[in-house]
Chain A
Amino acid sequence: MPDAVIMEGITKTFGPKVAVREMNLRVPEGALYGFIGPNGAGKTTTIRMIMSIMFPDSGRLSVLGKASAVESKDRIGYLPEERGVYKKMKVGAFLRLIGRLKGMPGAGLDAKVRGWLERVDLADVYAKRCDELSKGMQQKVQFIAAVLHEPELIILDEPFSGLDPVNMRLLRDLFLEQHAAGRTVIFSTHVMHQAEQLCDHLIMINKGNKVLDASMEEIRARYDPRTILFEPLDPGAAAAAVRGLQGVGSISATNGVLEASLVDGAEPTAVMRRIVEAAPVTRIELRRPTLEDVFIDIVSRDAGSEADEASLRASLREEAAAGARA
């Protein structure tokens, strides 16, 4: 399958700061790709370069077969991280303007705008001014602006930030539907579990470098589970009983749930059996590493960085959304 986006050796600097370094990546047509990484990692800069809003200092870029998105802007839908609307403009007029700017013909445009507003439960805001809308509503309007012209490639920068769970699900369904219709979808997020739920393929970015580029299956296969999670009937006694069992490394406890790491070479099923024999449990599972774990693992293996794990983890969760921008 041809590639919707190709980046080869792309570098972008802002003064002394290198925002993106030697980035190589390919997004095949029809794929659902996630760009993940903490805030300030270079996700937005990468996306802006794909959008030709910024231009790389060096390297080669191809978007939908063209050397730059300037020539294929009308075939791309974009939801920027910085949501912006014309405050004084009516919602309907705003969406029509964007449609016109995206090269849509004037005939039938209004009907499409109204149809989309209905789909996202915003039929009654057509004649309202943009600044009368709540943030979540504005975000949905922005999403319509990104997909109204039926683009082949949809790029969503942090599409879920600031949305409540109901609207988050609505938006997710809408863009999964776009993906199902055969469109290429790229989205970025710093919240790892969202990417984990949605993507076929992940590109992990940290400090301007691509640190991981793999499909979800590859990631799961590569990071096989090395932790056993169990909930004993008597947590106090269980810790002592399990410690020292063959194949069990360190043990940690949180809220009555114990985590036992496996020593190298230990067979998970055998160790689990031993644990159940040593202490009665209500639940026991082999824990899959989360993306967060994968990310922490990759970053801490990176020789140059002495990352503080707790702060790194915090930056990958929802609460950090208000933090620094990429």
Chain B
Amino acid sequence: MMHKVVAVAWREFSSTVLTKAFFIGAFLIPALAALAIPLIVKLTDEAKAPELVGTIAVVDRSGEVLPGVEQRLSVEGIAGLIAETSAIAREAIAEQLGEQAAQMQEHMDNPMVQAAIAQAFGPPPRLTVEPLPGEADVEVQRDRLKPSAEGDADALVALAVIAPDSVRKAEDAAAYGGYELFVRAKTDDRHIDLIRRALRDAVLEHRYAAAGVDATDVEALTSVSAPRTQEITDTGEARGATSALNMMLPFVFMLLLIMSVMVGGQYLLTTTIEEKSSRVVEVLLSAVSPMQLMTGKIIGQMGVGVVMLSIYMGVGMSTLVAFSLADLVSPEKLVYLIVYFVLAYFIFASFMAAIGSAVNELREAQSLQTPVMLTVMLPYFFWMPITRDPNSVFAIVLSMVPPMSPFAMVVRIASTEPPPAWQIFLSMGITAAFALGCVWFAAKVFRVGLLMFGKPPNFRTLVKWVRMA
């Protein structure tokens, strides 16, 4: 009688997946989101980074800084600044990624990545420095910055006024002077940052020279090397303390599991209620047994969950591959994820099928459904403690006791300290036995519930039906 189960499963699957609503929800929205992110990035880049070409007037009241400013605002000087900035950003990213830093470093040297970084900074400004005498009237010069002046032969894009005491402290003063910068309205903030850095570096350079200290000495003096924190494991091996990425992976695994289990389960509930309330169920029961019907429906919706899981797993894996981080997720971790998906799905789907068969309409399902939903939501609360200490007693117990075991174990498997294999297999065994029990319970309720109309049942009624069937 297998072909009947297959026929039911196929109808269940096709009537769910081959619909516009599912296509939009499962494919189109993620695809649009994936397309939209680069598009938005590109749009903001293009919108915010107009080329900055023009004259910057420098009023050097100190009479010393001008050569440094001119050198740093030249095209080569600006390129150097950009390279320095991206190196700093790179170090920050590497710090976050921990163990993957070396790989990442390699990746960052890729010309395409370099181009992407260059893109992020926008086109470098091309500036001509116009030195003005120290006694120049700033008020007058400021008028050349007005947007209405744009296009005039003597228009400015920026005006820097270096304070007279910026290099040498005035007598009795506690601090050095600085500089003032005026820019034309709506100048890109990344360009402003670059000009400010150039001015600051120029001022510093001249201060060091005036004080008779070597710039490299100062840098050496102010830089403190502090490599990443390391943890010492039982085997004496040192490794990076849990980084953000290592925390995220278990969360992503858990989220995938919750989502794919919920999608199929929710559809199962809806279609069962629909079949019952439209009374088509009696026609079906004249052709198949309740057990065949339920099995077919559960398997069909499992296909829906598998489709969802594959989509998101595929997107996730290709993202990881794109960033050369695929080593993070070994194939056996994915296999475990799929096995636990099947187990969790059977537990969850059994309850959904039982509830769907017992009620007359979706509204009545709410009260029965709430405890089941809460159970599936619980992993959100224990994801953090398990990830922090994946082999604590709490984590081990939770990963053995259904119905939480699939979620807890998946978090542990994806963590930096995966559990020993025997624990995984023991947990799978216990969970599989529990899932079978759930299917048995659901089959009993399903058989009685499908033809029961009237007062919506509570859990006690369901148990009574199980005894009856």
Contact = CB atoms under 8 A, between A and B. Distances in A.
B310 interface: no
A53 B293 CA distance: 12
Given A84-B279, A84-B282, A89-B15, A70 B7 contact: no
What DSSP secondary structure best describes chain B's contact surface? Answer: helix
Interface string A67-111: 000100110101010111111110000000110111100000000
A186 interface: no
A84 B286 contact: no
Given A54-B451, A98-B287, A82 B7 contact: no
Given A53-B451, A54-B451, A101 B287 contact: yes
Given A88-B15, A97-B7, A73 B282 contact: no
B286 A78 contact: yes
A84 B278 contact: yes
Nearest to A149: B287
Interface string A271-289: 0000000000000000000
Nearest to A100: B7
Given A54-B451, A101-B8, A101-B288, A142 B282 contact: no
Nearest to B1: A103
Contacts of B451: 48, 53-54
Interface string A15-48: 0000000000000000000000000000000001
A96 to B, nearest CB: 10
Given A101-B8, A103-B3, A85 B278 contact: yes
B268 interface: no
Contact of A76 (B281, B284, B286): B286
Nearest to A102: B287
Interface residues of B, number: 21
A54 B282 CA distance: 11
B384 to A, nearest CB: 43
Nearest to A94: B280
A87 B288 CA distance: 20
A141 B279 CA distance: 14
B11 interface: yes
Given A48-B451, A54-B451, A73-B287, A101 B282 contact: no
A51 interface: yes
Interface in B275-295: 275, 278-289
A74 B3 CA distance: 13
B4 interface: yes
Nearest to B278: A84
A145 interface: yes
Interface in B175-228: none
B287 A83 contact: no
Interface in B1-54: 3-4, 7-8, 11, 15
B15 A84 contact: no
Interface in B229-284: 274-275, 278-284
Given A97-B11, A103-B4, A53 B286 contact: yes
A73 B286 contact: yes
B279 A80 contact: yes
A80 B289 contact: no
A84 B281 contact: yes
Contacts of A73: 286-289
A102 B288 CA distance: 8
A80 B278 contact: no
B278 A86 contact: yes
B15 A80 contact: no
Contact of A84 (B4, B7, B283, B287): B283
A100 B451 CA distance: 23
Given A48-B451, A97-B7, A103-B3, A53 B285 contact: yes
Contacts of A52: 289
Contact of A82 (B3, B11, B279): B279
A79 to B, nearest CB: 8
14 contacts: A73-B288, A78-B282, A82-B282, A84-B275, A84-B279, A86-B15, A86-B278, A86-B280, A97-B7, A97-B11, A100-B4, A101-B7, A101-B288, A103-B4
* Closest CB pairs A-B (n = 6): A84-B279, A84-B280, A78-B286, A101-B287, A82-B279, A80-B282
